[in-house]
């Protein structure tokens, strides 16, 4: 099985999802290539080999940083020269743009929002949650090209695979084209789980402790409480979708089906009802504490600690208590 993983590189390093997908691909295929769009791939080679990549393929053109057209030309060229059974993408705005354009260019099938992939009878099969995640569909591919697969953020866990000590490095020598400069893609909001000016700190999908606020915060000012509690717990603030829709917080802070999937040790949900689309993003957390005024809120059916109370009362008390405890410990 020959697989290509199109990696996301942020701040000079492949994203957690990219490493996870490379390692997962290595557990399925004997020939796994990791493709990166960077000015020079040298510094990434050892790390990608550690995740099981036998080959690192690099598109070093500057234009590939912002131009989907450049990326499409490069990957299409690669696919015309080498045969891949599958091209796998950790989801991002850019990856979605690229995968969709590639599907058209290559006449290839594209499945998206996948949460697992495996080999069955010599072909790739994948899992795609549907109907609001209530059902898991087992999907395959048809079409002429390789199986194109976009994965839901945070859904693939890194697996232990035999590291490849010295992956080969291949530079994809795609010819620049006039169209490359016509459209340049920059994301207006941060990617799910990515840092943004507002949520600077550890990324949501890597956070050990998360304090999340929902519509129950009442106003944008309510978010200050969530931030305070997150700070005193050395955690990361997050929100449910309505908080983003109201413009109180950036999309990068959203947990859930269409936000970031998180797995912290501790998840404190304040004023969040626990609807399915939020639940699928956080139910794998270690301990879930829920603060909600409504004793019938769905979140109370799956949390570990239920606090039936007004968050405006409980959260400041918790912050005070934790600060006092910290001061005591320091003194
Ligand atoms: C296709 C699709 C994708 C979606 N993706 C996502 C997603 O990624 N993430 C996401 O979060 N949602 C998502 N949603 C929306 C989801 O269905 C819910 O509407 C949303 O999660 C509800 O957010 P909430 O719990 O903050 O608000 P609500 O459901 O309105 O709950 C607010 C809660 O706050 C409580 N409350 C009110 N005041 C207080 C107080 N003072 N103190 C304590 N508790 C209080 C209330 O009792 C209530 O339970 C999606 C929906 C669809 C259709």
Q: What is the pLDDT of residues 40-69, one digit of tens each?
A: 889 999 999 999 999 999 999 888 888 899
| Ligand 1 atom at shortest distance from the alpha carbon of 297 | 49
Alpha helices in 51-128 (DSSP H): 68-81, 93-106
CB 62 within 8 A of CB 14: no
Question: For the chain, what is the mean pLDDT?
Answer: 90
Residues 22, 9: Cα–Cα separation, whole Å: 13
18 CA from centroid of ligand 1 (Å): 30
Q: What is the pTM of this model?
A: 0.65
The one-character DSSP state at 254 is: B
Range name among 18-22, 74-78, 116-120, 176-180 with the lowest pLDDT average = 176-180
Q: Is 34 in the pocket of ligand 1 (CB under 6 A)?
A: no
Residues 277, 44: Cα–Cα separation, whole Å: 35
Query: For residue 273, what pLDDT band results from cuts at 50, 70 and 90?
Result: very high
Mutate to test the pocket of ligand 1, among 252, 270, 275 (most ligand atoms within 8 A of CB): 275
CB 60 within 8 A of CB 171: yes
């Amino acid at each position: 099985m020959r697989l290509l993983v199109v990696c996301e590189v942020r701040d000079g390093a492949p994203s957690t999802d990219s490493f996870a997908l490379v390692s997962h691909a290595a557990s399925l295929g004997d020939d796994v290539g990791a493709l990166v769009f960077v000015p020079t791939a040298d510094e990434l080679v050892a790390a990608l080999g550690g995740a099981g990549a036998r080959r690192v393929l690099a598109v070093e053109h500057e234009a590939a940083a912002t131009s989907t057209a450049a990326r499409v030309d490069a990957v299409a060229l690669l696919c015309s020269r080498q045969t891949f059974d599958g091209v796998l993408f950790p989801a991002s705005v850019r990856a979605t743009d690229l995968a969709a354009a590639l599907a058209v260019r290559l006449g290839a099938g594209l499945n998206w929002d996948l949460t697992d992939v495996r080999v069955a009878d010599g072909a790739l099969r994948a899992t795609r949650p549907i109907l609001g995640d209530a059902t898991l569909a087992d999907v395959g591919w048809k079409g002429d090209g390789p199986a194109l697969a976009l994965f839901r953020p945070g859904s693939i866990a890194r697996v232990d695979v035999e590291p490849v000590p010295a992956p080969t490095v291949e530079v994809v020598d795609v010819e620049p084209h006039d169209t490359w400069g016509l459209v340049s893609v920059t994301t207006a909001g941060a990617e799910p789980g990515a840092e943004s000016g507002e949520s600077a700190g550890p990324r949501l999908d890597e956070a050990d402790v998360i304090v999340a606020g929902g519509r129950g915060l009442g106003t944008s000012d309510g978010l200050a409480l969530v931030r305070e509690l997150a700070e005193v717990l050395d955690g990361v603030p997050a929100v449910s979708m309505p908080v983003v829709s109201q413009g109180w917080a950036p999309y990068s802070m959203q947990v859930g089906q269409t936000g970031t999937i998180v797995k912290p040790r501790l998840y404190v949900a304040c004023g969040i009802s626990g609807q399915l689309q939020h639940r699928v993003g956080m139910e794998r957390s270690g301990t879930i504490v829920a603060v909600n005024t409504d004793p019938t809120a769905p979140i109370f059916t799956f949390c570990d600690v239920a606090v039936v109370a007004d968050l405006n009362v409980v959260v400041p008390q918790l912050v005070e208590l934790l600060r006092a405890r910290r001061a005591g410990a320091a003194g």
